[in-house]
Amino acid sequence: MSNYGKIASKVLFAATIALLASCSKFGGKEESRTTGWKYNDPKNGGFEVADFQAQTTGPGLVFIEGGTFTMGRISDDPMYEWNNIPRRVTIPSFYMDETEVANLDYVEYLYWLSRVFGTSYPQVYMKALPDTLVWREKLGYNEPLVETYLRHPAYRNYPVVGVSWIQANDYCLWRTDRVNEMLLVEYGVLELDPAQKDENNFNTEAYLAGQYTGLVNKPMRDLNPNGTGERRVRLEDGILLPKYRLPTEAEWEFAAYGLIGNTHFERVVERRIYPWNGTVLRTDESKFYGSYVANFKRGRGDYMGVAGNLNDGAEIPAEVGSYWPNDYNLYNMAGNVAEWVMDVYRPLSFEDVNDFAPFRGNTFQTRQTDGQGYLVPKDSLGRIKYRSVTEEEAMGRINYRKADNINYLDGDYQSLAGVDWMAPAEEGVTSTDKMYEYGLSSLISDHSRVYKGGSWRDPAFYLSPAARRSLDEKMSTNYIGFRCAMGSVGGSAPGK
């Protein structure tokens, strides 16, 4: 049975139970413990409560049980950047891809874009294309990789590179919709519709908002006595999965260390430098004794070792799933390709971000509505329209006062000494420009994004999960890829 089939079978079983019994865990009653009205009964108004057991694991994902850990580097910093001073934080449980996104995965995405938007909006496909020219070197010959690395079947299971941070985010959203669409097909609510074109394509948010119908097979039963007897799937049914997205920097670092296999009664047995115990980069397994556990650059001019006795055996990125996984069963969290994460880069983020689910990069948005409060029609690509939260809408809140919080405590006017933060900003000049002088003394801006982990062309220093670097979100390289993550709803332990 396929992954989709397994997920759909679990969801189908849970939904069937929901129609036969109450979801209430308080005494097993079929009625509300606060009002006495029966659930899932048209005679009592038809309020539906699904029997949700646990979040199902989406295709390609591994459950990462969260917890507290010391984020940051504990060893010497030969680069003298000191941008990752240790700090204890707590990471909520989440899901992460077992491997990096491979060329085959990304080419599937490109094919879908071409099939759906290629005729009317060819720019959508062109915008998503990886930059294969990242393989070119001024004094090196990599031209064959320019032509073959992305599409040749020999490289289909190699990590995709040449993808910018923006492109990686777009892929995550597309993957969300394809997974949820197939879930509804496997569940029997929708039929496959390979003829989707332009704005008439399945989008999770548009479907939930009633702005996409698709080819309906067997709609959900509507128990509302004032309804039509049929309805679409709702968020409350627990069938659709949350969004695929990039992991935050803290999530990525936590998952890379894999301390779940190195802890005894809340005591970390050994503070790891790498995603494995010890200070060496070779395995001590008897069958593979001495073999390298990651794909990295051993020394100047040494990418793979000597012929007849190769060390890591890969002169460029190796196939995803190569080498040994860490204790979360995640592959290549050190070496192979570095990976994009969600965060905006700041050298002193460790001083500012929350100690629970730390992240810098929030720009709060809300759905666009018309004068009567109804959602405006979806855009030409079938997506729900969003806009930034206004200061008027945030007025009176105690947790945030504006939409863009990228520079909070690090570049906004409130944190600049000698600046009247009540005064309007200079036209065309952001507070970050004042603090970091982008292009003059710094390459840091609101578009600088963090990438984590070492790569095939990096020395061992960058194999530590604590290492952090940055690059503009529109740029790409031949050593940065990505993997997706997903939030966990409900309890912190799997199946709870």
Q: What is the pLDDT of residues 307-320, one digit of tens each?
A: 877 777 889 999 99
Query: For residues 42, 43, 46 and 49, what is the CA-based torsion angle, rounded to 10 degrees?
Result: -100
For 61-73, the pLDDT digits (tens) are: 999 999 999 999 8
In tens, the pLDDT along 197-232 reads 999 999 999 999 999 999 999 999 999 999 999 999
Cα separations (Å) of 121 from 111, 112, 113, 233, 375?
14, 13, 9, 30, 24
183 is a domain residue: no
pLDDT band per the 50, 70, 90 thresholds, residue 187: very high
Is residue 232 in some structural domain?
A: no
Q: Give the separation between CA 332 and CA 337, rounded to whole angstroms.
A: 8
pLDDT at 87: 92
The pLDDT assigned to 80 comes to: 72
Among candidate residues 476, 475, 466, the one with its CA nearest the CA of residue 249:
466
Give 132's contacts (C-beta < 8 A, 6+ positions apart). Answer: 145, 146, 147, 149, 150, 162
CATH code of 473's domain: 3.90.1580.10
Is residue 24 pLDDT above 50, yes or no?
no
Q: In angstroms, rounded to a whole number, what is the distance separating the alpha carbons of residues 121 and 131?
A: 20
Tell me the average pLDDT across 100-115: 98
Q: How many CA atoms lie within 13 A of 44 on its CB side?
A: 13
CA-to-CA dists, residue 474 to 124, 136, 163, 386, 442, angstroms: 15, 18, 9, 21, 17
Q: Identify which has the larger pLDDT, 112 or 21.
A: 112
356-375 tens-digit pLDDT? 999 999 999 999 999 999 99
Distance separating alpha carbons of residues 320 and 159, to the nearest angstrom = 6
Per residue, the 3-state secondary structure of 264-320, as one string, reads ECCEECCCCCCCCCCCCCECCCHHHCCCECCCCCCECCECCEECCEECCCCCCCCCC
- Kindly state whether residue 72 falls inside one of the protein's structural domains: no
Characterize the bridge pairing of strands 94-97 and 61-64: antiparallel
Please check the confidence at residue 129 and state whether its pLDDT lies above 50. Answer: yes
CB-based burial label for 108 (10 Å; 0-12, 13-18, 19+): middle
pLDDT of residue 428: 55
CA 158 to each of CA 152, 161, 267: distance values in angstroms, whole numbers, following the listed order: 10, 9, 37
Q: Terminus-to-terminus CA distance in the chain, angstroms?
A: 25
- Residue 218's identity, in one-letter code, is K
Cβ atoms of 238 and 17 within 8 Å: the answer is no
Query: Using one digit for the tens of pLDDT, what is the confidence trace for 323-333?
Result: 989 999 999 99
In which band, very low, low, confident or very high, does the pLDDT at 18 lie, cut at 50, 70 and 90? Answer: very low
**Distance in angstroms (rounded) separating the CA atoms of residues 460 and 312:** 12
* pLDDT above 50 (res 14): no
Q: Is residue 125 part of a domain?
A: yes
Identify the burial level of 495 via C-beta atoms within 10 angstroms of its C-beta, where 0-12 means exposed, 13-18 middle and 19 or more buried: exposed
Predicted pLDDT of residue 207: 97
In the chain, pLDDT over 90 holds for what percent of residues?
65
Residue 60 lies in a domain: no
Q: What is the pLDDT of residue 19?
A: 43
- For residues 255 and 84, give the distance between their C-alpha atoms in angstroms, rounded to a whole number: 17
- The domain in which residue 144 lies consists of 87-167+245-354+446-487
Residue 462 has pLDDT above 80, yes or no: yes
* pLDDT recorded at residue 7: 56
CA distance readout (Å), 269 to 261, 276, 351:
9, 12, 27
Whether 383 is covered by a domain: the verdict is no
Say how far residue 310 (Cα) sits from the centre of its chain: 34
> Taking 50 as the threshold, does the pLDDT of residue 23 lie above it?
no
Write out the H or E segment, with its range, that includes residue 388.
strand 386-388
Q: pLDDT tier at 22 (50, 70, 90 boundaries)?
A: very low
**pLDDT of the residue at 465:** 94
pLDDT digits (tens, 9 = 90+) for 227-268: 999 999 999 999 999 999 999 999 999 999 999 988 888 888
Give alpha helix (H) positions in 319-464.
349-352, 391-394, 431-436
Q: Is residue 361 part of a domain?
A: no
pLDDT in tens, 409-421: 887 766 665 555 4
Instruction: Say how many domains are in the chain.
Output: 1
Q: Which residues are paired to 470 by β-bridges?
A: 450
**What pLDDT was estimated at residue 417?**
55
Instruction: Flag whether 299 is in a domain.
Output: yes
pLDDT digits (tens, 9 = 90+) for 413-451: 666 655 554 555 565 556 666 677 777 767 788 999 999
Taking CA atoms, 286 is separated from 276, 282, 283, 310, 410, in Å, by 17, 12, 8, 18, 50
Pairing of strands 386-388, 480-481: unpaired
Q: What is this structure's pTM?
A: 0.90
